[in-house]
C-alpha cells in the first residue's frame, strides 16, 4: 500500500521539488496539492485545492508543508487535527509553537516531523558544531541564503544555536565595552554568541559555524547547492512519520 501524500506550497521552489520526489517513488502517491493562489483545478490528474479547509475528510496519510513561516503553524495544527501526519520543512516556528504541536500530536496519536533542515550534511554540521562548542565556547554562526527567503535567522541557524546552547556553558562573547556604531553590526545575540544572516541572489542554503580560541580557529561549513539535497530527508520523513505516534523536531530524531 502506498503512502498518500498532500503537498502544501506545491508551486514553490521546495514544494515543486518535493512533488517530483513523491512522483518518482512508487511507495508514495501524490493525492492532493494546495496553494491559495493556484488557478489550475488539477495537475496531471492530482486535484489542486486553494483552501486547506476543503481537505477536511480527505483521504491522505501525510501532509508535506513547504509554504511560508506565517502559515506554517496553522497548517501543521490543521494537519494534525485532520489525521494527516505532518512533514514540515517550512521554517519560522517558535519554541512554544513546537511544544504545542508535539503535545497535540500525542493527543491525536499521530507521527510528524518539523525539520528546519532536511539535508544530511546540515544535520551533521549541527551535531559537530554542538560538540565543538564544548571545547570552543567562542563562536559565531553565519547563515547564507537566497534573497527571496522571508525569515531570518534561518530555522537551521536557530536549531544549531539551540543545540549549542545545550552543549556549551553560557558565555557572553565579545568585549565588555563593545559598541555598535551601525545598529545590527554584531548580528543577533543568542545565549551570548552571535548569528549573522546573509541574503544574496545565487545562493541556495549555506551555513558556517566559526570557532576561535587562543592561537587557533575552526570553521565548519555546509552547502546545499541544489534543493535536491533536501529530498532524501523529506522522503525518509514521509516514510517514518506514518509509523510513529508523536511529532518530533529535527530530522536527526528519525535517523
Ligand atoms: P517559495 O518558493 O516562496 O514557496 C512557498 C510556496 O508556498 C509559494 O508557492 C507560496 O505561494 C505558497 N504558499 C503561501 N501560502 C500558502 C498556504 N497558506 N498554503 C499553501 N501554500 C502556500 O519558498 P521555498 O524556497 O520553497 O521555501 C518554503 C519554505 O521552506 C520556507 O519557509 C523555507 O525557509 C523552507 N525551507 C526549508 C528547507 C528544509 O530543509 N527544511 C529547505 C529550504 C527551504 P505564493 O508564492 O503564491 O505566495
Active site residue 149: yes
User: How is residue 98 written as a grid cell?
Assistant: 513546537
Q: pTM of the predicted model, to two decimals?
A: 0.89
Please give the share of the chain, as a percent, with pLDDT higher than 70: 100
The pLDDT of residue 182 is: 97
Confidence of residue 4 (pLDDT cuts 50, 70, 90): very high
The domains found in the chain, sorted by start residue, are 3-114+228-254 (3.40.50.720), 120-224 (3.30.360.10)
Q: Average pLDDT over the chain, rounded to whole?
A: 97
The pLDDT of residue 255 is: 87
The pLDDT of residue 250 is: 94
pLDDT (tens digit per residue) in 168-207 = 999 999 999 999 999 999 999 999 999 999 999 999 999 9
| Mutational pocket test of ligand 1: of 10, 32, 34, 66, the residue with most ligand atoms within 8 Å of the beta carbon | 66
Q: Is the pLDDT of residue 108 over 90?
A: yes
- Which one from 23, 131, 149, 239 is the annotated catalytic residue? 149
**For the chain, what is the HEC assignment?**
CCEEEEEECCCCHHHHHHHHHHHCCCCEEEEEEECCCCCCCEECCEEEECCHHHHCCCCCCEEEECCCHHHHHHHHHHHHHCCCEEEECCCCCCHHHHHHHHHHHHHHCCCEEECCCCCHHHHHHHHHHHHHHHHCCCEEEEEEECCCCCCCCCHHHHHHHHHHHHHCCCCCCCCCCCCCCCCCCCCEEECCEEEEEEECCCCCEEEEEEEEECCEEEEEEEEECCHHHHHHHHHHHHHHHCCCCCEEECHHHHC
Taking residue 128's Cβ as centre, other Cβ atoms within 10 Å add up to 14
Q: Is the pLDDT of residue 97 over 90?
A: yes
Question: Which atom of ligand 1 lies closest to the CA of 118?
Answer: 40
Ligand 1 binding site (Cβ under 6 Å of any ligand atom): 8-9, 11-15, 34-37, 66-69, 71, 89-91, 115-118, 149, 205, 230
pLDDT (tens digit per residue) in 13-23 = 999 999 999 99
pLDDT (tens digit per residue) in 26-79 = 999 999 999 999 999 999 999 999 999 999 999 999 999 999 999 999 999 999
* pLDDT (average), residues 209-233: 97
Query: 69 CA distance to ligand 1 centroid (A)?
Result: 8
Q: Is the pLDDT of residue 128 over 90?
A: yes
Question: Which atom of ligand 1 lies closest to the CA of 38?
Answer: 47
- Say if residue 155 carries a ligand binding annotation: yes
Q: Is the pLDDT of residue 1 over 90?
A: no
Residue nearest to atom 44 of ligand 1 (CA): 14
The pLDDT of residue 67 is: 97
Amino acid at each position: 500500500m502506498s503512502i498518500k501524500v498532500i503537498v502544501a506550497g506545491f508551486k514553490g521552489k521546495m514544494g515543486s521539488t518535493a512533488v517530483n520526489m513523491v512522483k518518482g517513488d512508487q511507495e508514495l502517491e501524490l493525492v492532493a496539492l494546495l496553494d491559495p493562489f493556484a488557478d489550475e483545478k488539477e495537475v496531471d490528474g492530482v486535484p489542486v485545492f486553494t483552501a486547506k479547509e476543503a481537505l477536511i475528510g480527505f483521504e491522505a496519510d501525510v501532509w508535506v508543508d513547504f509554504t511560508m513561516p506565517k502559515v506554517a503553524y496553522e497548517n501543521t495544527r490543521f494537519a494534525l487535527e485532520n489525521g494527516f501526519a505532518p512533514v514540515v520543512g517550512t521554517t519560522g516556528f517558535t519554541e512554544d509553537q513546537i511544544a504545542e504541536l508535539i503535545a497535540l500530536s500525542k493527543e491525536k496519536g499521530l507521527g510528524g516531523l518539523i525539520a528546519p533542515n532536511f539535508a544530511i550534511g546540515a544535520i551533521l554540521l549541527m551535531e559537530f558544531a554542538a560538540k565543538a562548542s564544548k571545547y570552543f565556547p567562542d563562536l559565531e554562526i553565519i547563515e547564507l541564503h537566497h534573497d527571496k527567503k522571508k525569515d531570518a535567522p534561518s530555522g537551521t541557524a536557530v536549531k544549531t544555536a539551540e543545540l549549542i546552547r545545550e552543549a556549551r556553558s553560557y558565555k557572553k562573547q565579545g568585549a565588555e565595552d563593545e559598541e555598535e556604531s551601525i545598529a545590527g553590526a554584531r548580528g543577533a545575540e543568542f545565549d551570548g554568541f552571535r548569528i549573522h544572516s546573509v541574503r544574496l541572489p545565487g545562493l541556495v542554503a549555506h551555513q558556517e559555524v566559526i570557532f576561535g580560541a587562543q592561537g587557533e580557529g575552526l570553521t565548519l561549513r555546509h552547502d546545499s547547492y541544489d534543493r535536491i539535497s533536501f529530498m532524501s530527508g523529506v522522503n525518509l520523513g514521509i516514510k517514518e512519520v506514518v509509523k510513529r505516534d508523536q511529532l518530533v523536531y529535527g530530522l536527526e530524531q528519525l535517523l
